[in-house]
Amino acid sequence: MKKFLSLFALVAITLVFVTSGCKEDDTIDPINFPPDVVFLLEDPTDGSVYDYADYTTDDTTSFASIGIKADKGTGALKSLTITQDGGNVSVDRLIIRDLRTDTEITANNPLLILGDNVDGFEIEILLNLQDEFSAATYTFDVADENGLVGSSSITVTTFKPATPLDMSLSGVLFNAAGPAGTGGLNLIDGSSVGSTNSAAQIRDLGIDCAEPNASNWLAQFGTVNGADMKEVDATQLENFTFSGVDSKEVISEAYSKGVALSDGSTVNTTGCDAVPLSVTDVAAPTAGDVYVVESNGVYYMIEVESVNITTSSNGDSYTLNIKY
């Protein structure tokens, strides 16, 4: 009986090992790698440099010149898709060239990858930039037969070109109680005109006859004939200096971010019996102050170079630098 039980146990153990040994191994999923996609630095056929990093331009009619190198991962390459901010770029904006054969490829988007290129390719893409002034991200997605995608992106920012200045000049604005016909200033040509002349955009406020002759000049000027003036707040502008102003856009921006000025009036223009006149946007400038005057849609930037005080006459004046 004991021999029978021992034999039975031996058979049972053998069956367990046989059953375990015959069990099918667990299936291990293969690891798939996506395509590798990089920008080329230069055209291998002639050495010309490609656009391979983010950049800015003021030319919306230009083409980005981009070289793409793609190598397959696990699966064969299947397609190339070019997008602008997530939407496919129109084929009429694309010119595509195979760099290994130096032949043009009919532009499609997505572009089907054929022949030897399924293992890897180098192509050149000339891409007509966006029409609007904006920042656009262009992405180049290469998909393989397994649905895996490799990509590279570049952002191109287009901006409105700066409008060059029409004129840079100097002018002298005199005390309105001084020489006749010089108490106003025509900012267009820097010429002195009368304080009530229709050609003036700014005028001096004259003197206060209640004060001693040696110190009766108000040393204030303001706008006339519908002009408007603001004082430039340099803290609101990036790296602002008057000498560095080289476009109309900088001047208009300085005006829009400038400090509004209060209105005032003359005390006496030519004598103690003169009737005070209202003057808009009055400033009491010192050397180095900068203002912007808007008149009939034109923005004039004025830098006060010097305030010239005389104690023996009404020949006081301001020397002004003007840009518009």
DSSP code at position 269: S
Count of CB atoms situated within 10 Å of the CB of 31: 7
Phi, psi of 19 (to 5 degrees): -65, -45
Give the CA dihedral 50, 53, 59, 62, nearest 10 degrees: 30
pLDDT of residue 97: 98
Report how far residue 115's alpha carbon sits from residue 242's, in angstroms, rounded to the nearest whole number.
Answer: 62
pLDDT of residue 26: 58
Report how far residue 295's alpha carbon sits from residue 13's, in angstroms, rounded to the nearest whole number.
Answer: 106
- DSSP secondary structure of 91-156: GGGEEEEETTTTEEE---SSEEP-GGGGSEEEEEEEEEPPSSSSEEEEEEEEEETTS-EEEEEEEE
CB of 77 closer than 8 Å to CB of 118: yes
From residue 87, how far is each of 68, 124, 158 by CA, in Å?
19, 20, 18
Count of CB atoms situated within 10 Å of the CB of 183: 29
pLDDT of residue 209: 86
Give the pair of three-digit tokens for residue 133: 């002034």
Report how far residue 160's alpha carbon sits from residue 58's, in angstroms, rounded to the nearest whole number.
Answer: 6
pLDDT in tens, the chain (324 residues): 444 444 444 444 444 444 444 455 556 667 999 999 999 999 999 999 999 999 999 999 999 999 999 999 999 999 999 999 999 999 999 999 999 999 999 999 999 999 999 999 999 999 999 999 999 999 999 999 999 999 999 999 999 999 999 999 999 999 999 999 999 999 999 999 999 999 999 999 999 988 898 999 999 999 999 999 999 999 999 999 999 999 999 999 999 999 999 999 887 655 566 678 889 999 999 999 999 999 999 999 999 999 999 999 999 999 999 999
Give the pair of three-digit tokens for residue 71: 């190598």
pTM flag (> 0.85): no
Domains and CATH numbers, the chain: 36-158 (2.60.40.10), 168-323 (no CATH)
Amino acid identity of residue 221, one-letter, is F
pLDDT 10s digits, 88-137: 999 999 999 999 999 999 999 999 999 999 999 999 999 999 999 999 99
